[in-house]
Chain A
Amino acid sequence: MNLKTKLGLGVLAFFALVAVAGEWVAPYDPSAMSDDLLSPPSGAHWFGTTMTGQDVFSQVLVGTRGVMVVGLVCGVLATLLSILVGVTAGFLGGAADEALSMLSNVFLVIPALPLIIIVASMLPSADTVLIAAVISLTAWAWGARVLRAQTMSLRRRDFVEAARASGESVWRIIVFEVLPNLTAVIASGFVGTVIFAVMLQITLSFVGVVSLSTWNWGTILFWAQSNQALGLGAWWWFVPAGLCIALLGTALALINFGIDEYANPRLRKVRA
């Protein structure tokens, strides 16, 4: 494991910890108002306060959980879907492959963001879990496409034929012979999906179609934007949440590079 990957895993672990413990560590109730209106970062308020005197640091801490939960739930759901569609299509080939590939390409090409915005704003209650489910439905297609290609190249390999020749059943070949060889691809697909889901959730919160009753980094940005934080010069209101998003995204991307380099030795750094 190289330094970049370790760095990525470290940052991810940190955010996971905050997601679990953020609520207890937070110095204030993130929704509680106070008299310190729009004050810049200080000893009492590390990330400053909002227009109504809410503590931005506490909002970021408490909001981490929503972000991580959506990332995890979407990652798992969408990865399962992509395995189901991609591996099935790649292994079966023929008409089933044509149909499933067409399906995943349709999902890839249709612009997801406007569609999800419409769905989310039509839902009577757009809470975290429901949003995660909706995002998963649009996030599986890329992984399915990559898995299909990999499965197709594995399907005709001799060890798959050999397993057939020794009498293994089709489902056992898929689960025990093909899937273990796809571990790296599945892992990188999972990480990629988490990035996608986190970004989408934050975007939806920022746009204001997701329920604002629970905190996440996107809702912080929503309030900052709708209260003209930019015009007021209150940079502390929107900078920390954005940096957290970028940090988490970078950490996940670094982990993905690590997986890619592991799977494709050519990308490994030349030792000079």
Chain B
Amino acid sequence: MDEIALEAKGLVKTYKRVRAVQDVSFVLRRGRVTALVGESGSGKSTVAKLLARLVEPTAGEVLLDGERVRRVREYRRKVQMVFQDPFASLNPVHTIRYHLARPLKIHRRPETVEELLERVNLPADFASRYPHELSGGQRQRVAIARALAAHPEVLLADEPVSMLDVSIRLGVLNLLLDLKERLRLAVLYITHDIASARYFADETFVMYGGQLVEGGDSETVTQQPAHPYTQLLIESAPDPERSVAALDAPAEENTRVSDGCRFAPRCPKARSRCWTDAPPRAEVGIPGHWAACWLYVEAVA
């Protein structure tokens, strides 16, 4: 196994009475991509912000190389983030050079802006341009270059291609894969598109209602989903060969505090126990593949 770069331990984030993130734990390893899959509102972006330390957790902790890092700037040197919307994440009043030169200066890196641009396959003369002169894909490459400027160990990518045209998504994903290999980055890839997780990530976690409901090797999770929610998610992906089981939007009571499984109100296989007790993680078949679902707990018992 590769070394652990970042470890989330029992993260909880509560906004007023809504639990956005509830007891989330996982690890990111160097040279590996971990996907976090979920619908909007599942809390996956909040997880990214917690890991980037843009938001303070209500409970739980984040360990970087096995330690709690108190100094924020030191932490940010090693953990960088790419935002979802490249049209919003670059300041319209600054040039590309400014966006890239600042992190180099903050973290005292020897590289030049041109080297960074080259790393993300952009021509050096882009440095003098403004964000509005670039296409979405080009901007996202700049945002990636900015994240790389600090020379991080961990890259948090919050839906990095969802705002881009379909035709250029693959190029940006391949760039991330390539950088991961060359720089031995630990990448957290957050997405609502479970199919791209299969292509892009080594390991996949599925999130629902602020909790991780299933995790394991990407191939296994996407091909043999164990949790009823993951199964619905994969079925709902457009496939002309079969009809789609409607996936209702989460009802409001799901985000409220409840004792049982968050997915129970929408689950086709829900039983009485699911409403009252939270399901623990249970191994499903292959080692390392788990689901938080009573179906598998009872099978073992």
Please say whether chains A and B are actual partners in one complex: yes
Asked if A166 meets B80 with Cβ closer than 8 Å, knowing A158-B85, A161-B54, the reply is yes
State whether A159 touches B102 (Cβ < 8 A).
no
- B107 nearest in chain A by CB position: A167
Per-position contact with B for A157-181: 1 when CB-CB < 8 Å, else 0? 1110111111110000000110011
Complex interface: chain A residues within 8 A of B81 (CB): 162, 165
Bound Cα distance from A168 to B89, whole angstroms: 14
Bound Cα distance from A159 to B49, whole angstroms: 14
Residue B88 at the chain A interface, CB threshold 8 Å: yes
Complex interface: chain A residues within 8 A of B129 (CB): none
Residue B286 at the chain A interface, CB threshold 8 Å: no
State whether A162 touches B102 (Cβ < 8 A).
no
Interface bin, chain B: 20 to 34
* Number of A residues with CB within 8 Å of any CB on chain B: 16
Asked if A166 meets B102 with Cβ closer than 8 Å, knowing A158-B85, A161-B83, the reply is yes
Per-position contact with A for B151-193: 1 when CB-CB < 8 Å, else 0? 0000000000000000000000000000000000000000000
State whether B88 touches A158 (Cβ < 8 A).
yes
Task: Among B54, B80, B83, B91, find the residue whose CB has the most chain A CB atoms closer than 10 A.
Answer: B91
Complex interface: chain B residues within 8 A of A166 (CB): 76, 80, 102-103, 106, 146-147, 149-150
Complex interface: chain A residues within 8 A of B41 (CB): none
How many contacts A-B (CB < 8 Å)? 58
Residue B52 at the chain A interface, CB threshold 8 Å: yes
Asked if A167 meets B106 with Cβ closer than 8 Å, knowing A158-B83, A162-B143, A162-B146, the reply is yes
State whether B93 touches A165 (Cβ < 8 A).
no
State whether A181 touches B91 (Cβ < 8 A).
yes
Contact of A164 among B54, B77, B90, B149 (CB under 8 A): B54
Bound Cα distance from A177 to B211, whole angstroms: 35
Complex interface: chain B residues within 8 A of A176 (CB): 94
State whether B91 touches A165 (Cβ < 8 A).
no
Complex interface: chain B residues within 8 A of A183 (CB): 93
State whether A165 touches B102 (Cβ < 8 A).
no
State whether A167 touches B73 (Cβ < 8 A).
yes
Bound Cα distance from A147 to B91, whole angstroms: 18
- A159 nearest in chain B by CB position: B91
Mark out the residues of chain B between 97 and 120 whose CB falls within 8 Å of any chain A CB in the assembled complex.
102-103, 106-107
Asked if A165 meets B85 with Cβ closer than 8 Å, knowing A177-B91, A181-B93, the reply is no
Distance in Å from the Cβ of A187 to the closest Cβ of chain B?
14
Residue B280 at the chain A interface, CB threshold 8 Å: no
Contact of A167 among B77, B84, B143 (CB under 8 A): B77
- B55 nearest in chain A by CB position: A161
State whether B102 touches A168 (Cβ < 8 A).
yes
Distance in Å from the Cβ of B159 to the closest Cβ of chain A?
12
Mark out the residues of chain B between 11 and 33 whose CB falls within 8 Å of any chain A CB in the assembled complex.
none
Task: Among B49, B73, B92, B93, find the residue whose CB has the most chain A CB atoms closer than 10 A.
Answer: B93
- B158 nearest in chain A by CB position: A158
Bound Cα distance from A180 to B95, whole angstroms: 13
Bound Cα distance from A177 to B81, whole angstroms: 18
Distance in Å from the Cβ of B190 to the closest Cβ of chain A?
14
State whether B83 touches A162 (Cβ < 8 A).
yes
- A180 nearest in chain B by CB position: B93
Complex interface: chain A residues within 8 A of B103 (CB): 166-167
Mark out the residues of chain A between 168 and 215 whose CB falls within 8 Å of any chain B CB in the assembled complex.
168, 176-177, 180-181, 183
State whether A159 touches B89 (Cβ < 8 A).
yes
Mark out the residues of chain B between 50 and 87 whose CB falls within 8 Å of any chain A CB in the assembled complex.
52, 54, 72-73, 76-77, 80-81, 83-85
State whether B90 touches A159 (Cβ < 8 A).
yes
Complex interface: chain A residues within 8 A of B73 (CB): 167
Distance in Å from the Cβ of B255 to the closest Cβ of chain A?
20
Complex interface: chain B residues within 8 A of A180 (CB): 91, 93-94
Distance in Å from the Cβ of B147 to the closest Cβ of chain A?
8
Bound Cα distance from A168 to B150, whole angstroms: 12
Bound Cα distance from A157 to B73, whole angstroms: 21
- A173 nearest in chain B by CB position: B91
Mark out the residues of chain B between 264 and 281 whose CB falls within 8 Å of any chain A CB in the assembled complex.
none
State whether A163 touches B54 (Cβ < 8 A).
no
State whether A167 touches B85 (Cβ < 8 A).
no
State whether B106 touches A168 (Cβ < 8 A).
yes
State whether A167 touches B76 (Cβ < 8 A).
yes
Name 22 interchain pairs, CB-CB below 8 A, sorted by A: A158-B85, A158-B88, A159-B88, A159-B92, A161-B89, A162-B90, A162-B143, A163-B102, A164-B54, A165-B52, A165-B76, A166-B80, A166-B146, A167-B72, A167-B73, A167-B76, A167-B106, A168-B102, A176-B94, A177-B94, A181-B91, A181-B92
Binding site for A on B (CB under 8 A): 49, 52, 54, 72-73, 76-77, 80-81, 83-85, 88-94, 102-103, 106-107, 143, 146-147, 149-150
Which are the 3 A-B pairs with shortest beta-carbon distances?
A158-B88, A158-B89, A180-B93
A162-B90, A168-B102, A168-B106 provided; 4 other pairs, C-beta below 8 A? A158-B85, A159-B90, A165-B52, A181-B92
